Amino acid sequence: MAKGESVAGTDIPPGGFVQLLTPDGERIDSVTAADGTTYSVDFTDEEYRELYRDLVTVRRLDTEAVALQRQGELGIWASLLGQEAAQVGSGRALRPQDMAFPTYREHGVLYCRGIDPIMPFGLFRGVDQGGWDANEFKFNQYTIVIGSQTLHATGYAMGVTMDGKTGSADGEAVIAYFGDGATSQGEVNEAFVWSGVFNSPIVFFCQNNQYAISEPLERQTRVPLYQRAGGYGFPGIRVDGNDVLATFAVTRAALDNARNGQGPTLIEAYTYRMGAHTSSDDPTRYRISSEVESWKAKDPISRLRAFLSKQKIAKKDFFAEVDETANKKALDLRERVLAMPDPEPVTLFDHVYPNGSPELDAQRDAFTRYQASFEGSGH
Amino acid sequence: MITLGKALNHGLRRAMEDDPKVVIMGEDVGKLGGVFRITDALQKDFGENRVIDTPLAEAGIVGTAVGLAIRGFRPVCEIQFDGFVFPAYNQIVAQVAKMHYRSKGKLRLPITIRIPFGGGIGAVEHHSESPEAYFAHTAGLKVVTCSNPADAYTMIQQAIASDDPVIFFEPKRRYWEKGEVDLDAPLSGAFPLHSARVARPGSDATLLAYGPMVRVALDAASAAAEDGRELEVIDLRSLSPIDYPVLFESVRRTGRAVVVHEAPGNVGLGAEIAARITEECFYSLEAPVLRVTGYDIPYPAARVEEEYLPDLDRVLDAVDRSFGW
Ligand SMILES: Cc1ncc(C[n+]2csc(CCOP(=O)(O)OP(=O)(O)O)c2C)c(N)n1
């Protein structure tokens, strides 16, 4: 499929993928896929440096979250470690008007949307269930039930078409994130069917991180995931998900196709989850350390850093400054997470129905009276 | 005089005229007008973008409605038959019902999910079920059902206009029953969607029914009147929330209550209603609250469905038991 095929030997999956930056930090100018599409990027030095900053920052924030979880400050955390390039590459390819539908792991995409990184912490700390305004940020709430959000994205994309916001270079596009495990869900397949049938302006962005909790890819599929798209009548493409340049190029092209009225694309970002599935998981039970080591060699950050150094786009002091700034952000985040208050108990009853419910109002009143009965009674 | 089915059709039409964001989606709702013709001619008049023939995928119908609602549309989903709502069950209970809560009120999902429900039409399996309790148990959803053309016309418009997600159960065996409907009545002057209705006043016992069983209860009350018993019939209309004040007022007055529904009795709405009445009206009761329901079996084959469905005799028998207490 891609010229990249010859680059790193056994590291490349059968069928190849689009790669613009090798694990050693060598830049591949452009890659022409089997369907004739040519992928490339044309970044200024400043843009390269900012991409690097994004990668480092989202990793550093994630590391802080893992630490907070270990210290008992978060109930659970789904780490993005290893998937930074897939998330930053695709996230930076989005335009302000595009709408994203994430799972529970897309902290990097969230960051790229310009959203305060504290937002998902309410969910993981257990003080709320998300609670941000999807429309304000053009980034839907996290979705825990695997695959459900792909249908929401599909419906939203139908709405974009109905609003007449496709068919031009500045139209709107929608991106739906999901994992390799999700591709087994009926709802994801329904989302593919619908989007194909309605030619909706949507990009399905699958981060194939090789595992669904403990189950390897082979438990979900016998064919490479990107090849499924053909059966639904739209293109599928695989990209090196640890290569932020390629991920950006492929996603931008797919989003542009969507906004131009050319319909959906399935992108399989071939990557690896370096940490545990969530903080509740023990990955040593189902994968061997040599596998993890082999993926470490493909790290998305070190390869971009190697490239920046070789090309003299950035020097030591830049890297140090990035680390330091990211560190500050992480410590600031930590403080704010620790300061997140528990909600008032009576808010339990809020927002069940937009206009309330007499039954629920009665329950809230009873609850309030019951709580008040303890006040001043020594409890 | 128009049928309940036609009243729904008029109600849908008016909702679409009133609000350009209302879209209807489902299997066969377009050219065919739905298998029961409830959406008859709507696609012809409003176009394929507003009356959408969808792929045959119930999770897709409801799941994409979520996205459309986030986008600012007001989707009305048709599930073809009661027994086929389960593929969409995940989207309804895990997404539709919870998204407003989860988003701390930032997202509203004004989605109406229409489901023709109940038996009595001689259908094959999966076409006659009463799954209302599954939905009434889920916070975040409103669950309603109509029993006559006038209510059908009003309630479908109210459901669509409501910012709550509404599961709208249509009593399919009453689709062809006729009644007076004022098609010009302004929605603003109508009863609130969650309100119960005294379908027939009476003083000796209260029959509580909804949807297809309201007709059965009314027939039972007529028959009882010949024996000198005046039964009050209450049409619940809303199953979540239930308009309890109306129920309590009636039962305190009559001292006797019988709940009637087609769904199996086990963990059904009748159990909930009986418990609530017992809690609130204990000292007014002359007898325990009784239930007349379907049996705790899968909906049976059509040739024996009359044995399953509560009928006039079973209702009257329960009334007798109440008086015999
Ligand atoms: C419908 C559903 N079933 C099971 C789960 C429990 N669960 C949470 S994450 C997960 C694995 C998901 O794997 P994948 O889609 O590959 O995404 P990843 O977490 O690897 O990014 C499972 C089984 C769930 N959240 N939803």
Tell which residue, B202, B152, B201, has the closest CA to residue B172: B152
Q: Which one of A146, A150, A225, A271 would you pick to mutate in the ligand 1 pocket, going by the greatest count of ligand atoms within 8 A of its CB? A: A146
Catalytic residue annotation of B: 127
Please list, in sequence order, all residues whose beta carbon lies within 8 angstroms of the beta carbon of residue B324, skipping any fewer than 6 positions away.
none
User: Going by DSSP bridges, is the β-strand pair A215-216/A236-240 parallel, antiparallel, or unpaired?
Assistant: unpaired
Q: How far apart are CA B320 and CA B229, in angstroms?
A: 10
What is the residue type of A30? S
Contact assignment for A152 to B104 by CB distance below 8 Å: no
What's CA B24's distance to the chain center, in Å? 19
Band (pLDDT 50/70/90 cuts) for residue A2 is very low
Q: How far apart are CA A47 and CA A45, in angstroms?
A: 5
Band (pLDDT 50/70/90 cuts) for residue A1 is very low
As a whole number, the mean pLDDT across chain B is 97
Tell which residue, A89, A112, A103, A83, has the closest CA to residue A18: A89
For residue A297, what pLDDT is reported?
Answer: 96
Q: How far apart are CA B123 and CA B85, in angstroms?
A: 17
For the CA of A182, the nearest atom of ligand 1: 15
Q: Is A158 in the pocket of ligand 1 (CB under 6 A)?
A: no
Ligand 1 center–CA A148 separation, angstroms: 11
For residue B176, what pLDDT is reported?
Answer: 98
pLDDT at residue A5 tops 90:
no
Higher per-residue pLDDT: A355 or B62: B62
Of all protein residues, the one whose alpha carbon is nearest to atom 25 of ligand 1 is: A145
Band (pLDDT 50/70/90 cuts) for residue A374 is confident
**Region A15-44 average pLDDT:** 95
Band (pLDDT 50/70/90 cuts) for residue A205 is very high
Rounded (10°) angle between helices A45-70 and A84-93: 130
Taking a C-beta distance cutoff of 8 angstroms, is the pair B124, B299 a contact? Answer: no
Q: Is A212 in the pocket of ligand 1 (CB under 6 A)?
A: yes
Q: Is A180 in the pocket of ligand 1 (CB under 6 A)?
A: yes
Band (pLDDT 50/70/90 cuts) for residue B20 is very high
pLDDT at residue A306 tops 90:
yes
pLDDT at residue A33 tops 80:
yes
SS3 A215: strand
Binding-face residues of A in 338-357 toward B, CB within 8 A: 350-355, 357
pLDDT at residue A19 tops 50:
yes
pLDDT 10s digits, B93-132: 999 999 999 999 999 999 999 999 999 999 999 999 999 9
pLDDT 10s digits, A176-189: 999 999 999 999 99
**How high is the ipTM of this complex?**
0.91
pLDDT at residue B59 tops 70:
yes
Q: What are phi and psi of A236, to 5 degrees?
A: -125, 145
Catalytic residue chosen out of the listed positions A277, A303, A305, A364: A277
For residue A10, what pLDDT is reported?
Answer: 44
pLDDT at residue A378 tops 60:
no
